[in-house]
Amino acid sequence: MKLINPKSRRAFVNLFADFILQKLGKTSKTIIQITLYDNFIVIYGKTDSEEVLDIDSVKKEFFEINKELCEKISVSENLGILNLVQKNSDYFKNNCYVYYLNLYNTERPLYHKKALNFHFNEFHDTVEWKNELFLEVPHNSLLPVDKFKFSPLQITSEFPYGYGLNIGRSLLYYAEYISHNIFSTISVENMKLLITNQKDLNGDQIIKVDSKSPFPVEKIQSLILDNFDFDLDKFSERFYDYDLCDEIKNVTSSKPWLIKNLETQDTFIF
């Protein structure tokens, strides 16, 4: 997963998306997408929330809280804003979510340790591990790097930022929660996990593990199914007092879902 420079235009759009989401409700069925142009901001999305927002007041509050960032990237509060968010609960009838994730034995399993240890500067928007570090840089960057892509001229927020917990976001963090608990048990530094909120004909959660663990894949999958209930509604309660904007501002700070519920000495794979 891409790690975002907290002092970049990429950070701005994703933070603003999560800021608005939290006003509508973290557990609401909501998708907010922010696109930043040179002269205005477009807010697009759909929600089932009953909250009515004064978007100008929301923008003013966001700019006040993130004044340092806005000055850093030269985004003015006087920027025009176009609000295209629609109330549409029918849009969310399909609630099937499937992810195939690379997970790492780090303080944030969604991110490789080399990405977490990377030192951002003004020429970086994001960094991602793809068997080596891969950078996203602004178009005006003169930074000599081998593996990179240019950021688009207009920046748009992206999943999971701006997505409500019930719109696949809690499942993403549940995968991180699972890996955080089992890495030491299965004796690997990374794994791939297919995770979904769907069940098979036997009523078991559909998952698939790919790793170089000394233990058979079937045993690891049984370990997961025996110890994790996939109750995402209950899991989402952990986010009640959590500021989603910390996902970018403080990516390695304490996270309420990264709790050890399995102890290695009490967990055996036969």
pLDDT tens-digit series, residues 49-97: 999 999 999 999 999 999 999 999 999 989 999 999 999 878 888 789 9
C-beta separation of 147 from 5 below 8 A: no
Indicate the fold that domain 3-88 takes in CATH: GMP Synthetase; Chain A, domain 3 (3.30.300)
Residue 38, pLDDT score: 86
C-beta separation of 213 from 193 below 8 A: no
C-beta separation of 41 from 80 below 8 A: yes
Domain residue extents for the chain: 3-88
Global model pTM greater than 0.75: yes
Phi, psi torsion values for 66, nearest 5 degrees: -110, 35
Torsion of CA 99, 105, 110, 116, to 10 degrees: -160
Cα–Cα distance measured from residue 81 to residue 257, given in angstroms and rounded to the nearest whole number? 34
For 66-69, which contacts have Cβ atoms below 8 Å and span 24 or more sequence positions? 66/12, 66/15, 69/6, 69/7, 69/11, 69/12, 69/15
- CA angle centred on 139, ends 135 and 142, rounded to 5°: 75
Give pLDDT < 50 ranges for the chain: 264-265, 268
